[in-house]
């Protein structure tokens, strides 16, 4: 039960993420840091952030006093995951380590299609229970909002099963789930060509998604092993006309997807490992959020998204785990973001922005990702006295406290 007003603190530092731009490079000295701070919560939202001593002078406030040194941040947001799935892809991992390429694995029946077979065979409850376990791990790392894609069903009934499982998991877990329909992941074997399948999605699946309110977002994988630029453009524009937000798996192996994402007004384009200077400048000149997925780079043993170049060009950079059974099975967003920072020379401010308010922007979410007035009181506290300790520990420093909608979890 929520109290009318509750003060939590004192925190050694409250890193609010306020007054920072949505786009471009960031320095640590741009961060608003309130020393010996407190956070005043009112009915699940933040009423005020200030020094603890000034806030505790108010009347009618219940105080939840903390003992020790803690750093408070907004709850983290993982804006790209595939945590609804069945089975495992350990054989793909072995093949990649033996020198077989991702695309060649897919061509011979491994890759995404392997997970499709396992997910189709799974009961809805099995998918829900798997998600609950993965969400527990995410919550342990301070992640309070998670995007979850379908895309391992690749038929109307199976995609609906996945989206309903995501909705059920959302109802049974404190973490907020943002569902995305990725029916356009690859062309299923039951269809002879991409246009036939995409038209089938538009005619048969999209009306069911709308009628049952299963999601408001659609995604597509634009790549040699998935969908062409031409077919993707027509598909995304049809979804635009029906009022859906769109996001794109783009520039993972070849630099074609980001151009379509920009042209079609996507909220984000995710991956970007193959982006060249041309695509980087185009993304920076648009309102599309660039989402780096370091977990996929680690899992596949390939280069990271050019995060430094994207930020320096003026792009908005989010960072997500891409947690999936094939290319990114690790799922630890903080570890991945810390490693990306090392290789791409990112400041702590840039990394933390990428998993808070810029990640919220990639999901078109308001009032998340900052510790600010009227924002949802999703708060994470780490047992340290300086925010830089968090990334320095590369995922091995865990939160001591997590508040969801103002309630201590």
Q: Is the pLDDT of residue 382 over 70?
A: yes
Checking DSSP bridges between strand 379-382 and strand 71-74, what pairing results, if any? Answer: antiparallel
Share of the chain above pLDDT 70, in %: 99
Other beta carbons less than 10 A from residue 133's beta carbon: 9
Interval 150-178: pLDDT, tens: 999 999 999 999 999 999 999 999 999 99
Lookup: tokens for 247: 């996001």
Q: Is the pLDDT of residue 99 over 90?
A: no
Interval 209-225: pLDDT, tens: 999 999 999 999 999 88
Q: Compute the mean pLDDT over every residue in the chain, rounded to the nearest whole number.
A: 95
Taking each helix axis from N to C end, the angle separating 156-172 and 124-140, rounded to the nearest 10 degrees, works out to: 40
Task: Decide if 282 contacts 276 (C-beta within 8 A).
Answer: no
Residues with Cβ < 8 Å from 203, sequence gap 6 or more?
Answer: none
CA dist 87 and 122 (Å) reads 8
CA dist 64 and 408 (Å) reads 10
Interval 333-352: pLDDT, tens: 999 999 999 999 999 999 99
Q: Is the pLDDT of residue 403 over 60?
A: yes
Q: Is the pLDDT of residue 44 over 60?
A: yes
pLDDT of residue 93: 78
Reference 356, options 407, 318, 314; nearest CA is 318
Q: Is the pLDDT of residue 1 over 60?
A: no
CA dist 372 and 231 (Å) reads 42
pLDDT of residue 171: 97
Q: Give the phi and the psi of residue 218 in degrees, each rounded to 5.
A: -125, 150
Confidence band for 59, pLDDT divided at 50, 70 and 90? confident
Confidence band for 87, pLDDT divided at 50, 70 and 90? confident
Residues with Cβ < 8 Å from 394, sequence gap 6 or more?
Answer: 334, 335, 338, 339
Lookup: tokens for 316: 């908005």
Share of the chain above pLDDT 90, in %: 89
Q: Is the pLDDT of residue 226 over 60?
A: yes
pLDDT of residue 114: 86
Cα–Cα distance list, 398 to 71, 138, 176, 300 (Å): 12, 11, 20, 26
Interval 100-134: pLDDT, tens: 877 787 777 778 888 999 999 999 999 999 999 99
pLDDT of residue 92: 77
Q: Is the pLDDT of residue 2 over 50?
A: no
pLDDT of residue 208: 98
């Amino acid at each position: 039960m929520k109290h009318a007003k509750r003060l939590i603190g004192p925190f050694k530092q409250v890193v609010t993420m306020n007054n920072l731009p949505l786009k471009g490079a960031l320095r640590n000295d741009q961060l608003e840091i309130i020393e010996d701070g407190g956070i005043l919560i009112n009915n699940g939202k933040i009423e005020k952030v200030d020094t603890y001593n000034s806030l505790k002078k108010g009347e009618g406030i219940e105080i939840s006093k903390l003992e020790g040194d803690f750093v408070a941040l907004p709850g983290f947001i993982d804006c790209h995951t595939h945590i609804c799935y069945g089975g495992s892809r350990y054989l793909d991992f072995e093949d990649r380590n033996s020198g077989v390429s991702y695309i060649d694995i897919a061509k011979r029946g491994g890759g995404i299609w392997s997970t499709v077979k396992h997910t189709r065979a799974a009961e809805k409850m099995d998918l829900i229970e798997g998600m609950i376990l993965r969400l527990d791990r995410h919550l342990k790392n301070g992640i309070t909002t998670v995007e979850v894609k379908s895309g391992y069903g690749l038929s109307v009934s199976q995609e609906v099963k996945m989206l309903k499982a995501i909705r059920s998991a959302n109802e049974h877990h404190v973490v907020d789930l943002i569902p995305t329909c990725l029916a356009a992941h690859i062309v299923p074997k039951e269809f002879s060509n991409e246009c036939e399948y995409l038209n089938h999605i538009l005619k048969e699946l999209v009306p069911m998604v709308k009628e049952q309110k299963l999601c408001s977002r659609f995604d597509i994988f634009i790549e040699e092993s998935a969908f062409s630029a031409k077919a993707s453009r027509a598909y995304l524009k049809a979804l635009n006309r029906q009022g859906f937000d769109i996001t794109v798996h783009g520039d993972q192996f070849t630099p074609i997807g980001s151009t379509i994402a920009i042209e079609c007004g996507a909220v984000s384009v995710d991956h970007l490992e193959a982006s060249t200077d041309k695509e980087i400048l185009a993304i920076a000149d648009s309102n599309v959020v660039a989402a780096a997925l370091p977990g996929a780079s680690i899992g596949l043993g390939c280069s990271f998204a050019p995060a430094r170049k994207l930020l320096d060009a003026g792009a908005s950079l989010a960072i997500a785990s891409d947690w999936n059974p094939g290319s990114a099975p690790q799922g630890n967003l903080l570890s991945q973001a810390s490693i990306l920072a090392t290789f791409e020379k990112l400041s702590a401010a840039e990394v933390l922005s990428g998993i808070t308010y810029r990640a919220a922007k990639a999901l078109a979410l308001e009032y998340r990702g900052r510790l600010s007035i009227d924002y949802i009181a999703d708060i994470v506290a780490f047992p340290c006295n300086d925010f830089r300790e968090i990334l320095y520990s590369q995922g091995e420093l865990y939160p001591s406290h997590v508040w969801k909608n103002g309630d201590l979890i």
